[in-house]
């Protein structure tokens, strides 16, 4: 059952690193042309206690803090600290684990309990 423990641990980690009380919002901005995309918006993180949980694309292993990097490859701790081209061209936050945590994992766990 070692592999089950690994899955359980991964799910627990996802629960630990979920971000509550914030949401990502697109805001109108002047049109900018980047190498791989154009954007007439910017992306900001705002407080919203009613927002469903979010997860970051990348986390710092030692602290479980979300991390971001611009073209300079310098580790940053806030989305606002990287350039607009990177903020608008990459999904830095999402609801990706939600279905896994709410539906798939409980079903998988129940099947193993039989």
Over residues 43-64, the pLDDT tens digits come to 999 999 999 999 999 999 999 9
For the packed helices 2-17 and 105-113, what is the interaxial angle rounded to 10 degrees? Answer: 150
For the beta carbon of residue 71, count every other beta carbon within 10 angstroms.
9
Over residues 66-109, the pLDDT tens digits come to 999 999 999 999 999 999 999 999 999 999 999 999 999 999 99
The torsion region of residue 87 among left (phi > 0), alpha (psi -120 to 50) and beta comes to alpha
């Amino acid at each position: 059952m070692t592999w089950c423990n690994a899955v359980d641990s991964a799910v627990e980690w996802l629960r630990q690193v979920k971000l509550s009380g914030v949401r990502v919002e697109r805001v109108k901005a002047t049109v900018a042309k980047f190498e791989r995309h154009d954007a007439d918006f910017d992306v900001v993180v705002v407080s919203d206690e009613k927002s469903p949980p979010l997860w970051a694309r990348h986390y710092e292993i030692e602290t479980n803090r979300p991390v971001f990097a611009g073209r300079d490859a310098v580790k940053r701790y806030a989305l606002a600290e990287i350039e607009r081209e990177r903020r608008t061209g990459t999904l830095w936050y999402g609801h990706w684990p939600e279905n896994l945590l709410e539906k798939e994992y409980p079903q998988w766990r129940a099947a193993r309990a039989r």
